[in-house]
Structure formats: C-alpha cells, structure tokens
Amino acid sequence: MPSTPLLRLSQLARFWEKNPNTILGWIRLGRLTAIRSPGGHYRVRATDVRAFCEREGMPVPPLAAPASRRVVVWTAPLARALRAHGVPVEEHDDPYDAMLAAAGAAAALLVLPHAGGSFDVAAAVAALRRAAGTRTLPIVVVATTARARTGAIERAGATRVLPRSHASDLPALAMEILGPA
C-alpha cells in the first residue's frame, strides 16, 4: 500500500473544474508529477498535488489535503464559498453522507446548513457529540434564522451557528478553526 494516496486525473479534474485532458497536459509539460499504474493510467501522489497547488496558487483537493485540514460540507453553495478561499472541501449531497464522512476519517471541520425540512440539524449535532470519534469535531451550522432554533443548535453542541446574514463569514471562520496551513 502506498504511503501517500494516489489520485486519478478525473478526481483532480472534477475538483478543479477542468477537463481531464488539461490535467494530462500539465503532466506532459512537467508541471504536475505523476506515475503510471500497472495498467498504464496516470496517478498523482497527494504530496505531488499539494506541491503543485502551492506552486500554482491553486486550491488543494480534499483527497490530497492532510487529514488535519479536511473540511466536510453538505451542500454545493457552502462548498463553493469555501473553495473560493482555498479551503480544501469534501462536498456531499446528503447530510447523512457528510456526517458519516466526517466521523469516519478524521475531519478537521464539519459544515452543515440549517435547511429545515426532514433533517433535524440539532438532533444530528447532538448525535455527533455523543459519538466518541466526533465529540471534539468542530461543527459549524450556517443559515439559521430563528433565534429559538439557533439556541437549540448551540445547546446540541455546535461549535458555531452563523445566521444567514453572516454566511459570508464562513471562509474566515473555517480558516480560524483550521489554523495555519
């Protein structure tokens, strides 16, 4: 088993919103170091991706980010806001998938929106606080408007609740929680 994760070109292309041929071009030009798999496919070491991102001023994909900086997010708008500020984000379309990802592989931060509907974010935060692996996981909940609901989420154990009017503060708050790179 390799000591550093190997990433497929398609994973990098999806994160950077580029065509896989663009990633292949960077490899062929020597800008991005890659190895060939036994099947002849290119793979890129996570350490090489991080070095490339630092040189090129690009955001580090969450799969290449050190585990201590992994941010798990439910919903695309929050993920986009964080990525725009260089925060490595692992995005999920389902709140339960996001919670399992955060609990299963040492995330540094979990970001959940208060979307209402059938997902009870206060109950989810309380459940995460009861589990040994996520007791100290920072959890930020965004876009809550009702003061009573904010209180319930805070009492459940959320690290921070950002009202909708302060959602633009999320990237700065994430960087504050993550600390220096």
Cα 89 versus chain centre, distance? 2
Q: How far apart are CA 162 and CA 145, in angstroms?
A: 9
Instruction: For the chain, give the percent of residues with pLDDT over 70.
Output: 90
Q: How far apart are CA 51 and CA 28, in angstroms?
A: 17
- Binned at pLDDT 50, 70 and 90, residue 148 comes out as low
pLDDT (tens digit per residue) in 74-92: 888 889 889 888 888 888 8
Sequence-ordered list of residues with C-beta below 8 angstroms from that of 57, at least 6 positions apart, any chain:
none
- Which has the higher per-residue pLDDT, 129 or 66? 129
Residues in a beta bridge with 160: 140
Token pair recorded at residue 157: 């154990």
Tell me how many degrees the CA angle 140-143-148 measures, rounded to the nearest 5: 90
Phi, psi of 67 (to 5 degrees): -55, -30
pTM: predicted TM-score of the whole model, two decimal places = 0.63
DSSP calls for 111-166: EEE---TT--HHHHHHHHHHSGGGTT--EEEEEE--HHHHHHHHHHT-SEEEEGGG
The domain 67-178 having CATH identifier 3.40.50.2300: the answer here is yes
The DSSP element (H or E) to which 16 belongs, if any, is: helix 9-16
